[in-house]
């Protein structure tokens, strides 16, 4: 315990005369000295807290783990589903499966949920989930105004690709003095082909209803390629024409949800080529599906194609020429745009929006 | 029509989710801009996965490692390789390639230490030490600062005709490189100074990779950790109560306070400060002070708690920093293991205060500016470090006069607000945004982000640090003495409550993982 009366105090006026004195300051001082012994390595000994055994530690942690498994085993199972394939996921899955089963068959999990659900920061989603299988050609082209309309509210959303694009758009509009409310709503680690974390059909309906945007900017596609069910329920793997048709249908459902919810224009950004060649078939299928779904919906959906700017010739590059200077525009993962890249993408979006909106 | 629809929704409870700026949507005035952020800023998912304590994976990893660690502890030839492998598995969760980097730093530092130990020639010892330190810091420089040099610094040099053509490249920052490279430096230098004995390669590998402190400290000196490896940890003297209490406290600090404040207040304002006015900007600055303390000290609490359960003791890293009454006092309470590293391995070797007043100020400025740069490769960190150096220098110049002229509460008030202002430099993404933030501080406008939980969380974090030390220590001590099984059950309860506050996208990474 601290006892300031027993320590030799240094006030602000003290100066070290010698290096030895300075170094002495860093060595352990009298017991209870809070700063002289700035490591306080012996504090647990001094406070007599080393009073239990290793077996106590193991038992206590085992009890914690056991209680968590029976109260929240389903969370372990869900976490496994969200992990990338690999040994780590297999291990979590091997534990999460039985833990989830136990948790499902005991009343504790429901009790926990009832007691703590009010603490969740997640928004409640409404609307329909994705329909299974490929849909039709989409809704007829919506009537859109031919003259620029006022822009009051802008939604910027998507997966991790959409940030920091969202921040760049918000800053650029703010710098222009535009009276626009920008709602930034990135949902990291989510995908249209994987509804494990969030169902983008429900989310798009909810965003349209709650945020009431005049325009929506979507940048999503870093986390796609998951198998999706066809109309019969059979899983279709990426990136066959059938997978692309299902993906197109899902993208179309999202577009329709926004448009039916009152969004006048959608600006959907394509995924620029990524460094890893294995990702190219996925990005190609995603971009193709977006372009086709947008074409079905006429001028209400504009595709902002980033590929000619960031990866001309379909060739990945870290940097591009910006104002005569080679500038790195990608993150080190070779997938995401960095701040400079997002700034360029934001300029492209604003250029497209300028044709449709006054702000 | 639109505004009417929005108003109708708010009456049905939508205001709660949208927070105050949503109200602006129904009454956007010309020239008025607003921004709503609803992000749970997780860096998981398709971005590179980070090593996190509050994850399901770690909740599975740790009990297994803990049990095996104590089971193998009596047999050191088995325990030592086991703990190295476990730590590398932990680190590989971030990116397996970086394990090679960690191994390289370990090997080179060990070679340097053996070389230093085997010679009595002081010049040779110096040269070998310099070689080891240059390698350790070189790794840090390449991975952390290369991009900064070929872009920002190159721009500055270009402007004065000293441009250096360096190839552009994106380099991934290995998690924790700032911490383990500094620890490697302490190992080499401590042995050179004869403050630590050379360890075996296995012990050195454990010291540098031990997973509780691997990715974000605390920066444990070789002379503190290596002696703990000399004999097996005593299985009858384990601070189980303190360990579990610290883990629970750290989780609450990180997930329930730091992440909450980031989500509801800090991230939106710092992302687009142009969109906010003085009341929100002021609150967000205080909010960030609370957030960064809870985030980093929360991590440290968990790290120290995990280590205690495994029988190891780490140095203290925080001591109620916001009760400081001066910059020097602050740096004795904030990130204590970094400030003593800077003092012992930079400030004192530079000459400290032994070479006159001018050199003292230069040394303080240099030490703190480099300390700022350690936090990140950006000019705002340089500015933050220089700001801290200026504060320390000013204090040094005034010597004890401040204490005689001003009462303690006034010194605290001024120090606290100067520290909070410094956090604006630290948190802003670049210097232009610092300017935008300062403009926001002077712009009149509505308070849109105030809520009872947000203000309450800030007051709680700051207020608890102002309480007398004895009562808070007394509570910690009493908790630490409870029966382990009681605390184990309590920890489960805390995890369940804390877990309920985690957004579906997961727990955002600790702020100091970026450093």
Q: What is the complex's ipTM, to 2 decimals?
A: 0.80
Please tell me which of the candidates B25, B319, B403 has its beta carbon nearest to residue A34.
B319
Q: Which of the 8 DSSP states describes residue A98?
A: H
Question: Largest Cα–Cα distance of chain B, in whole Å?
Answer: 86
A192-196, A350-354, B333-337: range with lowest mean pLDDT: A192-196
**Cα separation, A169 vs A178, whole angstroms:** 11
Beta partners for residue A158, in sequence order: A186, A219
Q: For tokens 């990524």, what's the residue?
A: A274
Q: What separation in angstroms does the CA of B483 have from each of A48, A120, A124, A194, B93? A: 14, 31, 40, 45, 34
Residue B158 has pLDDT above 90, yes or no: no
A149-358 is classed in which CATH architecture?
Answer: 3-Layer(aba) Sandwich (3.40)
Residues B224 and B175 in one domain: yes
Closest-CA distance of chain A to residue B57, Å: 7
Please give the residue of chain B at the shortest CA–CA distance from A119.
B501
Chain A contact for B93 (CB, 8 A cutoff): yes
CA B14 to chain CA centroid, Å, is: 36
Contacts of B311 in chain A (CB under 8 A): 54
**Cα separation, B26 vs B248, whole angstroms:** 42
Interface test with A, best of B15, B24, B36 (most A CBs within 10 A): B36
Q: Is residue B35 part of a domain?
A: no
Among B229, B259, B275, the domain boundary falls at: B229
Among B229, B254, B271, the domain boundary falls at: B229
* Beta carbons of A63 and B492 less than 8 Å apart: yes
The residues in A 172-201 lying below 8 A from B, measured between CB atoms, are 173-175, 177-190, 197-198
Strand order in the sheet with A215-219: A301-304, A265-269, A215-219, A153-158, A181-186, B34-37
Name the strand (E) or helix (H) holding B487: helix B484-500
Name the strand (E) or helix (H) holding B488: helix B484-500
Among B177, B195, B229, the domain boundary falls at: B229
Residues B210 and B64 in one domain: yes
Contacts of B274 in chain A (CB under 8 A): 171, 174-175
Residues B216 and B354 in one domain: no
Residues B457 and B415 in one domain: yes
Per-residue pLDDT at B71:
95
Number of domains chain B is built from? 2
Q: For tokens 């920008």, what's the residue?
A: A182
Which residue ranges make up each domain of chain A? 1-51, 56-119, 149-358
Q: For tokens 């002379």, what's the residue?
A: B223
Beta partners for residue A328, in sequence order: A319
Residues B190 and B222 in one domain: yes
The residues in B 429-448 lying below 8 A from A, measured between CB atoms, are 429
Average pLDDT over residues B251-265: 93
Please give the residue of chain B at the shortest CA–CA distance from A51.
B237
Please tell me which of the candidates B45, B496, B505 has its beta carbon nearest to residue A71.
B496
Q: For tokens 């960064």, what's the residue?
A: B292
* Beta carbons of B501 and A120 less than 8 Å apart: yes
Average pLDDT over residues B160-166: 64
Residues B223 and B245 in one domain: no
Helix residue ranges, H only, chain A: 19-26, 43-46, 54-82, 87-104, 108-116, 165-175, 200-211, 241-260, 280-296, 307-310, 339-356
Contacts of B234 in chain A (CB under 8 A): 50
Q: Which of A167, A155, A194, A217 is nearest to A339 (CA)?
A: A167
Average pLDDT over residues A239-256: 93
CA A134-A137-A141 angle, to 5 degrees, is 145
Per-residue pLDDT at B163:
62
Write b or e for each residue in B133-157: b if 16 or more Cβ atoms lie within 10 A of its Cβ, otherwise e.
bebbeebbeebbbbbbebbbbbeee
Per the CB < 8 A criterion, the answer to whether A267 and A353 are in contact is: yes
Band (pLDDT 50/70/90 cuts) for residue B429 is confident
Q: Is residue B412 part of a domain?
A: yes
The size of chain B, in residues, is 515
Contacts of B221 in chain A (CB under 8 A): 39
B99-108, B127-136, B404-413: range with lowest mean pLDDT: B404-413
Q: Is residue B28 part of a domain?
A: no
The residues in B 242-301 lying below 8 A from A, measured between CB atoms, are 242-244, 260, 263, 271-272, 274-275
Band (pLDDT 50/70/90 cuts) for residue B161 is low
* Beta carbons of A41 and B315 less than 8 Å apart: yes
* Beta carbons of B56 and A92 less than 8 Å apart: yes
Residues B250 and B314 in one domain: yes
Beta partners for residue A265, in sequence order: A215
Residues B384 and B345 in one domain: yes
Contacts of A85 in chain B (CB under 8 A): none
Residues B373 and B299 in one domain: yes
Q: Which of the 8 DSSP states describes residue A330?
A: B
Q: Which of the 8 DSSP states describes residue B515?
A: -
Residue A214 has pLDDT above 90, yes or no: yes
* Beta carbons of A40 and B316 less than 8 Å apart: yes
Structure tokens at A227: 């198998």
B375 tagged catalytic: yes
Closest-CA distance of chain A to residue B106, Å: 23
Out of B12, B335, B375, B396, the active site residue is: B375
**Cα separation, B374 vs B135, whole angstroms:** 16
Per-residue pLDDT at B143:
84
Interface test with B, best of A49, A81, A279, A342 (most B CBs within 10 A): A49
Residues B208 and B263 in one domain: no
Per the CB < 8 A criterion, the answer to whether B316 and B338 are in contact is: no
* Beta carbons of B240 and A212 less than 8 Å apart: no
Contacts of A320 in chain B (CB under 8 A): none
Average pLDDT over residues B408-422: 93
CA A216 to chain CA centroid, Å, is: 17
Report CA torsion sign: B183, B189, B190, B191: positive
Q: What is the DSSP string of B42-107?
A: ---TTSPPPP-SSSHHHHHHHHHHHHHHHHHTT-HHHHHHHHHHHHHHHHHTT-TTHHHHHHHHHH
B339-345 CB contacts, 8 Å cutoff, 24+ apart: B339/B371, B340/A26, B340/A38, B340/A39, B341/B182, B341/B186, B341/B219, B342/B367, B342/B368, B342/B370, B342/B371, B343/A22, B343/A26, B343/B367, B344/A23, B344/A26, B345/B185, B345/B186, B345/B189
Structural domain of B203: 56-229
Q: Is residue B13 part of a domain?
A: no
* Beta carbons of B55 and A79 less than 8 Å apart: yes
CA B477 to chain CA centroid, Å, is: 25
A100-104, A351-355, B230-234: range with lowest mean pLDDT: A100-104
Residues B305 and B328 in one domain: yes
Angle at which helices A280-296 and A241-260 cross, to 10°: 50
Q: For tokens 């100091």, what's the residue?
A: B512
Band (pLDDT 50/70/90 cuts) for residue A14 is very low
Report CA torsion sign: B338, B343, B344, B350: positive
Contacts of A318 in chain B (CB under 8 A): 168-170
């Amino acid at each position: 315990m601290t006892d300031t009366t027993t320590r030799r105090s240094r006030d602000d006026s003290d100066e070290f005369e010698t290096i030895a004195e300075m170094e002495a300051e860093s060595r352990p001082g009298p017991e209870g000295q809070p700063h002289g012994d700035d490591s306080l390595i012996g504090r647990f000994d001094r406070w007599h807290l080393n009073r239990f055994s290793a077996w106590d530690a193991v038992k206590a942690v085992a009890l914690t783990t056991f209680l968590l498994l029976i109260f929240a085993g389903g969370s372990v199972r869900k976490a496994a589903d969200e992990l990338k394939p690999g040994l780590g996921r297999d291990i979590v899955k091997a534990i999460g499966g039985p833990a989830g089963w136990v948790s499902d068959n005991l009343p504790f999990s429901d009790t926990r949920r009832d007691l703590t659900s009010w603490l969740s920061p997640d928004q409640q989603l409404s609307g329909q989930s994705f329909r299974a299988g490929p849909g039709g050609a989409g809704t007829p082209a919506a009537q859109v105004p031919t003259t620029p309309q006022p822009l009051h509210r802008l939604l910027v959303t998507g997966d991790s690709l959409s940030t920091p694009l969202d921040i760049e758009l918000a800053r650029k509009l703010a710098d222009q003095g535009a009276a626009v409310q920008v709602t930034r709503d990135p949902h990291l680690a989510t995908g249209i082909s994987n509804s494990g974390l969030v169902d983008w059909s429900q989310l798009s309906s909810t965003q349209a209803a709650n945020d009431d945007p005049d325009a929506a900017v979507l940048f999503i596609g870093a986390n796609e390629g998951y198998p999706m069910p066809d109309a019969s329920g059979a899983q279709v793997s990426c990136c066959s024409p059938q997978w692309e048709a299902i993906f197109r249908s899902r993208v179309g459902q999202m577009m329709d949800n926004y448009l039916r919810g009152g969004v006048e224009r959608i600006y959907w950004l394509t995924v620029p080529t990524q460094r890893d060649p294995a990702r190219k078939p996925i990005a190609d299928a995603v971009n193709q599906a977006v372009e086709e779904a947008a074409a079905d919906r006429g001028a209400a959906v504009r595709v902002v194609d980033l590929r000619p700017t960031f990866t001309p010739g379909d060739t990945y590059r870290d940097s591009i020429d910006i104002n005569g200077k080679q500038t790195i525009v990608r993150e080190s993962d070779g997938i995401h745009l960095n701040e400079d890249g997002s700034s360029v993408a934001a300029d492209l979006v604003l250029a497209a929006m300028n044709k449709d909106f006054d702000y | 029509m639109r505004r009417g629809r929005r108003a109708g929704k708010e009456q049905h409870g939508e205001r709660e989710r949208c927070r105050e700026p949503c109200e602006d949507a129904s009454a956007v005035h010309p020239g008025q801009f607003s921004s709503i952020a609803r992000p749970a800023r997780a860096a998981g998912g398709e971005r590179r996965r980070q090593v996190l304590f509050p994850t399901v994976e770690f909740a599975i990893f740790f009990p297994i490692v803990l049990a095996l660690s104590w089971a193998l502890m009596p047999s050191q030839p088995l325990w030592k390789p086991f703990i190295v492998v476990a730590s590398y598995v932990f680190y590989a969760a971030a990116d397996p390639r970086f394990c090679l980097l960690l191994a390289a730093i370990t090997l080179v530092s060990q070679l340097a230490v053996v070389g230093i130990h085997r010679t009595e020639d002081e010049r040779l010892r110096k040269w070998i030490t310099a070689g080891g330190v240059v390698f350790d810091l070189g790794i840090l420089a390449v991975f952390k600062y290369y991009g900064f040099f070929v872009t920002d610094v190159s721009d500055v040099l270009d402007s004065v005709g000293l441009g250096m053509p360096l190839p552009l490249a994106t380099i991934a920052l290995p998690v924790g490189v700032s911490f383990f490279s500094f620890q490697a430096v302490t190992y080499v230098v401590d042995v050179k100074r004869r403050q630590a004995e050379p360890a075996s390669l296995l012990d050195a590998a454990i010291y540098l990779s031990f997973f509780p402190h691997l990715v974000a400290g605390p920066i444990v000196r070789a002379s503190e950790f290596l002696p703990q490896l000399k004999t097996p940890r005593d299985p009858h003297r384990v601070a189980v109560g303190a360990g579990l209490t610290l883990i629970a406290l750290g989780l609450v600090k990180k997930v329930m306070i730091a992440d909450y404040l980031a989500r509801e207040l800090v991230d939106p304002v710092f992302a687009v400060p142009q969109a906010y006015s003085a009341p929100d900007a002021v609150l967000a600055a205080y909010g960030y002070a609370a957030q960064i303390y809870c985030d980093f000290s929360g991590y440290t609490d968990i790290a120290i708690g995990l280590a205690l359960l495994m029988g190891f003791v780490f140095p203290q890293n925080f001591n109620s920093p916001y009760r400081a009454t001066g910059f020097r006092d602050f740096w004795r309470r904030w990130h204590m293991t970094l400030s003593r590293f800077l003092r012992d391995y930079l400030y004192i070797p530079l000459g400290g205060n032994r070479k006159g007043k001018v050199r003292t100020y230069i040394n303080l400025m240099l030490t703190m500016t480099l300390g700022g740069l350690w936090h990140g490769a950006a000019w705002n960190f340089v500015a933050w470090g220089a700001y801290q150096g200026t504060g320390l220098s000013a204090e040094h110049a005034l010597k004890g006069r401040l204490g005689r002229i001003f009462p303690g509460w006034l010194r605290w008030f001024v120090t606290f607000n100067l520290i909070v202002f410094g956090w604006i430099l630290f948190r802003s993404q670049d210097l232009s945004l610092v300017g935008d933030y300062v403009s926001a501080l002077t712009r009149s406008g509505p308070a849109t982000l105030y809520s009872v939980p947000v203000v309450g969380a800030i007051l709680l974090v700051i207020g608890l640090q102002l309480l007398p030390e004895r009562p808070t220590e007394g509570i910690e001590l009493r908790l630490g003495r409870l029966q382990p099984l009681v605390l184990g059950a309590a920890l489960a309860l805390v995890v369940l409550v804390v877990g309920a506050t985690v957004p579906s996208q997961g727990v955002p990474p600790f702020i100091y993982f970026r450093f």
